Amino acid sequence: MPLDSDHSTNMSRVAMKAELLDAETEQRLAYAWRDQRDEEALHRLITAYMRLAISMAAKYKRYGASMNDLIQEAGLGLMKAADKFDPDRGVRFSTYAVWWIKASIQDYVMRNWSMVRTGSTSSQKSLFFNMRRVQARIEREAMARGEELDGHQLREMIAHEVGVPLRDVEMMEGRLSGSDFSLNATQSVDDEGREWIDTIEDDGPRGDELVEEDHDLSALRGWLGDAMSKLNDRERFIVRERKLRDEPRTLESLGDELSLSKERVRQLEAAAFQKMRKYLERHGSEVHNLLV
């Protein structure tokens, strides 16, 4: 822990010494990164706002995560913000980055709060990070009115305040107050040593489901292959490069290779998809059922 504290302190000192960017410089660096992929500009932009990331990370120390890990997650959020920032929108980068930094930190905290995933929707995240604060305020207000709330009333008021179903509040209350237990622990001394893991139903696919899925995928691949064969060489090339690569190519890069404008490549792509769609429609509901 001392090493963790020293490291985070050193990072904070370095961040505090970073340059402060005015709006004009910030915009220039953002354009340089977006348009020219200038890594030096990206480095300056991220370094300048690392103090913001560290400041936001510090607010989540109470959730039990190490400061180093929180800072790393905040830094990842900051880099995502820099990569997606559009200076043409007229918004300061710091304003835009706050959302990405906060989202990255909160996702990390929720992933590591428990071995059981706490929640992933925006409403569940809001409940996770605001439940205790809302509960404390409701209890203070009730006390000031001379009222005494039972557990059910309190959970109902929290659900109404946060805007989530009552069952979500009940679930989150258990997550925040409970602790993780091993699935290999025995249920009771009277149960012949049966472990909790023995009571969990296997939710993996059954053998017949796997066979059916393989058959469906094989049929779909065949139909898609036939649809691709109806395209000319240039259309097949565009579809393959745009949709079948692990990292799809941009319209601009394909236009450069084919000596076409970006808009023309887009038109050819749309025409190819229309040809394939018409061919696949011959199979009617069979294709639809496999794709949904």
Please report, for the domain that includes residue 108, its CATH number: 1.20.120.1810
Q: With contact defined as beta carbons under 8 Å apart, do 15 and 50 qualify? A: yes
Per-residue pLDDT at 77 exceeds 70: yes
Do 101 and 129 belong to one domain? no
- Residue 244 counted as domain residue: yes
The span from the CA of 137 to the CA of 33, in Å, is 45
- Residue 200 counted as domain residue: no
User: How distant is the alpha carbon of residue 73 from its chain centre?
Assistant: 13
For residue 216, name the pLDDT band (cuts at 50, 70, 90): low
Structural domain that includes position 262: 207-291
Tens of pLDDT, residues 16-56? 777 888 989 999 999 999 999 999 999 999 999 998 999 88
The span from the CA of 52 to the CA of 102, in Å, is 11
Tens of pLDDT, residues 53-67? 998 888 888 777 788
* DSSP symbol at 186: B
Kindly state the percentage of the chain with pLDDT values over 70.
71
Of 78, 76, 55, nearest to 8 (Cα)? Answer: 55
- Residue 201 counted as domain residue: no
In the chain, how many domains are there? 3
Q: Which of 82, 113, 144 is the last residue of a domain?
A: 113
Per-residue pLDDT at 106 exceeds 90: no
